[in-house]
Amino acid sequence: MRPTRYDVDLDALRHNVGVLSGIAAGATFCAVVKADGCGHGAVPVARAAVEAGADWLAVALVEEAAELRAAGIDVPLLMLSEPRPAEMAEVAAVGGLRPVLYTTAGIEALAAAAPGTPAHLMVDTGMHRTGVAPDEAVATARHLLDAGLRLEGVATHFAVADEPDDPFTGEQLRRFDAVLADLGAAGIDPGIVHAANSAGTIAFPAAHGSMVRVGISLYGVAPSPDLAAAVDGLGLRLVGSLRSEVARVAVVEPGETVSYGRRWQADRPTRVATVPIGYADGVPRAWWERGAVLVGGRRRPIRGVVTMDQLMVEVDDDVAVGDEVVLLGSQGEACVRPEEVADAVGSIVYEVLTSVGARVPRRH
């Protein structure tokens, strides 16, 4: 069996749920576990989140919802994107799945497949990804009700809540509040009002509404560099730790090169360790230029481009075959965080975490 694994600390996740639900006290807490729980394993993460007090769970796909139900998880499930009309029978079969809706076709298909189903109206206040335009919200909500569905909630999604100094989040809130006022004036109860993602929950208390939808910060990471200090201040704990071990140690002589493309050249006799993990496992290929892993509690620089199944790091005489290697997480007093990797390769923590490959065993 490969030594490479992804350790998932469910106690840390429970702690994070407690902290994050505490800062949104009074709001229903919805833990977003889409994309296999951001790569951490949807079912174990969902169970731990519910044990820690999460009231709802959110997914992106019908298949993700069905997986949770098959595992015996019975809390309300929010589906964050409107299913295709042909999928509405599957939505009904899952049981307790609340889709967000915003199109006539979606509303009519769900009403035909499952009359009386609770649904949420998604309003596009500026993200321009999904949702109904604000000036069409009342008519769409009325159509949803007239079709025989139950309007359980009204939602929107922030575009830049992870940049707290950007005034656009305030503008989105104003647009959303105007929609809620229009619904009220039309005699339509919006039900559960929700807008705040992780960044909104942490940085915009006024956006908490009656439910918050927390995703990335469940796993102990900041939604963006601008919120790193706030997350650190909350005491959130890193949940995932990507580990492997040294498979080979050899000396590379001066003038010799390492890995494809011969991008790194030794300028002195250099001990190089091979680690059996690569970009097929989710380690970004470009990380080699600014990346380091932990061996023996010390940072060891990556040498040469990351290959599909292996990478190489520079080590000292104190490193031997079988020594543990940490690519994400802590070893001794040192830590490599997902935020560091994201910054090094010009990406975001969401991509770093969800890229951990399916062939990497998860140990919960």
The DSSP result for 140-194, as a single string, is HHHHHHHTT-EEEEEE---SSTTSTT-THHHHHHHHHHHHHHHHHHTT----EEE
Q: What percent of the chain has pLDDT over 90?
A: 99
pLDDT of 1 higher than 90: no
Kindly provide the b/e burial profile for residues 226-251, where b requires at least 16 CB atoms within 10 angstroms of the residue's own CB.
bbeebbeebebebbbbbbbbbbeeee
* pLDDT for position 92: 94
Does pLDDT of 87 surpass 90? yes
Mean pLDDT of 205-231: 96
Mean pLDDT of 3-19: 98
Banded model confidence at residue 115, pLDDT cuts 50, 70, 90: very high
2 pLDDT higher than 90: no
Q: What pLDDT, on the 0 to 100 scale, is given for residue 175?
A: 98
Instruction: State the catalytic residue, choosing from 6, 102, 219, 260.
Output: 260
Per-residue pLDDT tens for 149-170? 999 999 999 999 999 999 999 9
What is the rounded average pLDDT for all residues in the chain? Answer: 97
Which whole number is the average pLDDT over 329-345? 96
Element (H, E) at 4: none
Read off the pTM.
Answer: 0.95
34 assigned to active site: yes
From the candidates 34, 102, 219, 279, which is the catalytic residue?
A: 34
- Residue 140's pLDDT band (boundaries 50, 70, 90)? very high
Identify the band that residue 189 occupies on the pLDDT scale cut at 50, 70 and 90. Answer: very high
Annotated catalytic, 260? yes
Q: How far apart are CA 18 and CA 209, in angstroms?
A: 18
Report all structural domains of the chain as residue ranges with CATH numbers, in order of start: 10-234 (3.20.20.10), 240-363 (2.40.37.10)
Query: Do residues 280 and 46 lie in contact, with contact meaning Cβ atoms separated by under 8 Å?
Result: no
Relative orientation angle of helices 62-70 and 42-51, to the nearest 10 degrees: 70
